[in-house]
Structure 1
Amino acid sequence: MGTPERIVIVGGGVAGFSAAQELRSRGYAGALTLVSPEGLPYDRPPLSKGYLLGTEDAGRILLAPESWYAEHGVEVVAARATALDLSGYRPVAVLERGTRLGADRLLVATGALPRRLGIPGGERALALRSRGDADALRRVLVPGARIAVVGAGLIGAEVASAAAALGADATLIDPVATPLVPAVGEDLALRLHAMHGERGVATLVAAPAAIEDGTHDAAPHLVRLAGGRAVAADAVVVGVGVTPDTALAEAAGLEADDGIVVGPDGSTSHHAVFAAGDATRVRRQVAVVRGGPPAVLQRRAEHWEAAVRSGQAAAAGMLGEAPAEVGAPWFWSDRHGVHVEAVGTMDARQAPGARTVLREADGVPVAAFLVAADGHLLGAAAIDQPLVVRAARRIIDRGLVPDPDRLADPSVDPRRLAR
């Protein structure tokens, strides 16, 4: 198709920004427009951490200062795309008020939407996905406020932690007794979940059945739980995952299956349209087995680094270049003053015969490793041990077979584990 003269990116999250950044770093000199409904792109992980706590302001969470866009020739259009017109050879992004932006390549980076509670009164719950959501939540996280958080995964745990730090009375509700086991392994998940009670956060193993008017209990909301119990709250927050925002893509006829279907380079079912970030699902070629599928759809990746890499890969694809090799997936989280990281997979259900190797300090688990039956390292997770996770990532990416005893020994310098 030749080198594009004009590229339009629809979506101002980290995937869209990373694509713009990568395009310029690869030498693309053509016109580049970033359609971002909220204006200058900002980082979302701090929304449930420093920004919610008030230790970071709107300026500090920007992905780049305003001057960067002028210096790199990136036009930011603060508007929302309402449609994609793919009827012609060149795709067109249709913005609110009818503005049309044609392009030689179009990147869809619309991200994901917070999953809502499908229960009566579920619309009462606050979600946390945007800066505006965080601002609204911050206004109710005041000393003495009663906050009910539905969902004890990463976001829910971070919100409960912030609520406790700000003096609110938080109750964390989840139907799973020990959340995050597939993400960090059972031992670390138990330690992390126990921190809630240690910091004054009440935890309930239950599923919400309805959110009602709670004025008769001197609270705006009443969270009814399956089984009849109720939790009075001044605010209810939901953190039960996200769904890919594929509305524009599907309305335009792009292939989607729980996400916009893309190749490793972000290519979609339309020759000039690419996609990246939380809205996508990658189809990768596999070794062809007689009678088996020639390609498989991977699970959607919803973490920050995955979105960055996805944007970078799509930038390469739009220029007709090969994307960089991507290592083992990695994510992090902060709660109650500790830092959690994980790399690869810690989900033992996906690896029959795998075993967990623990690293402890004074009898407390600080890191866990999932080792395959053949000795290869599948994943690792750690609390306040970033060097351990960094070493584990090198081991996984290089396909090394580590010594389990060295993994478990806290006296072994993490920097020596991958040697």
Structure 2
Amino acid sequence: MTGSIDRVVVVGGGIAGVSTVGALRSGGFDGELTLVDAGEFPYDRPPLSKEYLCGERTFEQIALRSPRWYQDEEVRLINLSMVTALRPAEGKVELGDGRLLAADRVVLATGGQAARPPIAGVDSRRVHVLRTADDADRLRRVLVSGSTVLIVGAGLIGAEVASAAVELGCKVVLVEPTSPPLAAALGVEVAAWLHALHADRGITTVAGPVVSCTEVSSGIEVRIGGHAQARVVDAVVLGVGMVPETSLALGAGIEVDRGFLVDSGQVTSNPAVLAVGDPARCRGRDVPRAEHWEAAQLDGQRAAATVLGAAPPVPMAPWFWTDRHHRHVEVVGRMSDAERTVTRGAFGGRAFSVFGLRGDSIVAAVAIDDSIAVRAARRMIDRSMIVDSASLADPAVDLRKLLRG
């Protein structure tokens, strides 16, 4: 990227956007730095399906940064505002109120919207999604003790909402056509064990696609393919993924294909525009978007390095986490790449891990309430280490010693 870069505008205040401005300042960028966000302030989204939904944390407590941080870092935060158009050829960004911001580089961190599949009746007021704090506020008002909620999708969001709803005293029906859900990410064994936890907590799990939702006097009637009897519940929650918000890029003639297409430095088809976070997808690689918190954070750091002309962060094995029914799950690498697995600890016990191996090298790991194991596994994956399966499986063997070789 050429030319003087004195003014950077970041569009979107999720973790990807905040990571970008933070990395720019910590990397020495001393120009004008603006963050435009549609909300009251940038906030963290993982708590929306957990502590925030359960009322254990307030809106202010999920802020990504304090108001003072933006002042100290000299980041101009324009909140409650939308960018309506990009004008990269003019070096301008247009806001909804008509204001124009000067920008030598624009970083799109626009996230996306919760997906609403083409199911009859999903526009009902009784059908909810969970992507924003406003969504969580609306959902929390219906997740009252004694109510019945049907959740469509047993992936990360669906399972987390199901767990929260049970904690709030709801009766829960969880519908998922795939059995077991998340098998590609977790491996079939762990995925099946995790899915079975729902039944242990009194959740009814149903296999099949949702065909229609119809409001009735007593709630909303849900018909599920392969099941003769419809279910009448108080509310429905859709947990079936997200749709990337790419309208700004399309309006500016930037290449889009199932998200923003970017290079290894997060640069789009227009060299003055970068893109980060859930909607970004690496050009030339037919792989799914990495829709996880740390992946978005690292995108922001890479984008900042590109703007600064600095070295990007060192690549690491992908990592994400989820919580359900008081169990903390961490995943590193890709279990779908594994040829075989090794279990450390008693499978299903208080804390255990499952390592995925290809040959004698670890390519992935899933840890249940065992963060030490997943951290060690990540370092082993990053080093392409050869490991002894017996030592890996033995809880008495210190994984740090294996790392030292």
TM-score by length of 2: 0.95
Q: Which amino acid aligns with 1:252?
A: A
**What is the distance in 2 between the residues matched to 1:190 and 1:60?**
34
Contact 1:188-1:366 within 8 A present in 2 as well: no
Residue 264 of structure 1: CA displacement? 1.4
Q: Which amino acid aligns with 1:340?
A: V
Q: What is the aligned counterpart of 2:169 among 167, 170, 185?
A: 167
Contact 1:338-1:383 within 8 A present in 2 as well: yes
Q: Does 1:370 align with 2:356?
A: yes
Q: What is the aligned counterpart of 2:306 among 317, 333, 337?
A: 317
**What is the distance in 2 between the residues matched to 1:121 and 1:384?**
39
**What is the distance in 2 between the residues matched to 1:254 and 1:413?**
50
Q: Does 1:128 align with 2:117?
A: no
| Structure 2: 5+ residue stretches without partners | none
Equivalent position SS for 2:62: coil
Equivalent position SS for 1:170: strand
Q: Which amino acid aligns with 1:265?
A: G
Q: What is the aligned counterpart of 2:335 among 320, 325, 346?
A: 346
Q: Does 1:396 align with 2:381?
A: yes
Q: Which amino acid aligns with 2:211?
A: A
Contact 1:184-1:368 within 8 A present in 2 as well: no
Which residue is 1:336 aligned to? 325
Q: Which amino acid aligns with 2:70?
A: Y
Q: Which amino acid aligns with 1:31?
A: E
Q: 1:418 to 1:5 in 2, by over 3 A?
A: same
Q: How many residues align?
A: 398
Which residue is 2:292 aligned to? 303
Which residue is 2:220 aligned to? 221
Which residue is 2:275 aligned to? 275
Root mean square deviation of aligned Cα: 1.5
Which residue is 2:12 aligned to? 11
Moved segments of 4+, more than 4 Å: 362-365
**What is the distance in 2 between the residues matched to 1:342 and 1:403?**
21
Residue 322 of structure 1: CA displacement? 2.6
**What is the distance in 2 between the residues matched to 1:113 and 1:304?**
16
**What is the distance in 1 between the residues matched to 2:366 and 2:83?**
39
Q: What is the aligned counterpart of 1:208 among 207, 210, 215?
A: 210
Q: Does 1:188 align with 2:190?
A: yes
Contact 1:188-1:382 within 8 A present in 2 as well: no
Q: 1:249 to 1:362 in 2, by over 3 A?
A: closer
**What is the distance in 1 between the residues matched to 2:216 and 2:342?**
47
Residue 27 of structure 1: CA displacement? 0.7
Q: What is the aligned counterpart of 1:356 among 341, 354, 366?
A: 341
Report 1:19-418 matches (<5 A). 19-78=20-79, 79-88=81-90, 90=91, 92-124=92-124, 125-215=127-217, 218=218, 220-227=219-226, 228-283=228-283, 295-347=284-336, 350=337, 354-361=339-346, 364=349, 366-372=352-358, 374-418=359-403
Residue 109 of structure 1: CA displacement? 0.8
Q: 1:363 to 1:95 in 2, by over 3 A?
A: closer
Q: 1:196 to 1:417 in 2, by over 3 A?
A: farther
**What is the distance in 1 between the residues matched to 2:285 and 2:38?**
33
Q: 1:173 to 1:341 in 2, by over 3 A?
A: same
TM-score by length of 1: 0.92
**What is the distance in 2 between the residues matched to 1:207 and 1:414?**
43
Residue 246 of structure 1: CA displacement? 1.0
**What is the distance in 1 between the residues matched to 2:310 and 2:400?**
34
Task: Kindly provide the CA deviation profile for residues 264-312 of structure 1, in whole angstroms up to 9, marking residues without a partner as x.
Answer: 11111112111111111013xxxxxxxxxxx535431100000000011
Residue 177 of structure 1: CA displacement? 2.4
Residue 412 of structure 1: CA displacement? 2.2
**What is the distance in 1 between the residues matched to 2:24 and 2:132?**
26
Which residue is 1:289 aligned to? none
| Structure 1: 5+ residue stretches without partners | 284-294
Contact 1:344-1:393 within 8 A present in 2 as well: yes
Equivalent position SS for 1:177: coil
Q: Which amino acid aligns with 1:5?
A: D
**What is the distance in 2 between the residues matched to 1:190 and 1:47?**
25
Residue 357 of structure 1: CA displacement? 1.6
**What is the distance in 2 between the residues matched to 1:111 and 1:194?**
32
Equivalent position SS for 1:98: coil
**What is the distance in 2 between the residues matched to 1:415 and 1:134?**
41
Residue 182 of structure 1: CA displacement? 1.0
Contact 2:88-2:272 within 8 A present in 1 as well: no
Contact 1:380-1:392 within 8 A present in 2 as well: yes
Q: Which amino acid aligns with 1:314?
A: A
Contact 2:321-2:328 within 8 A present in 1 as well: yes
**What is the distance in 2 between the residues matched to 1:31 and 1:142?**
47
**What is the distance in 1 between the residues matched to 2:154 and 2:229?**
18
Q: Which amino acid aligns with 1:214?
A: V
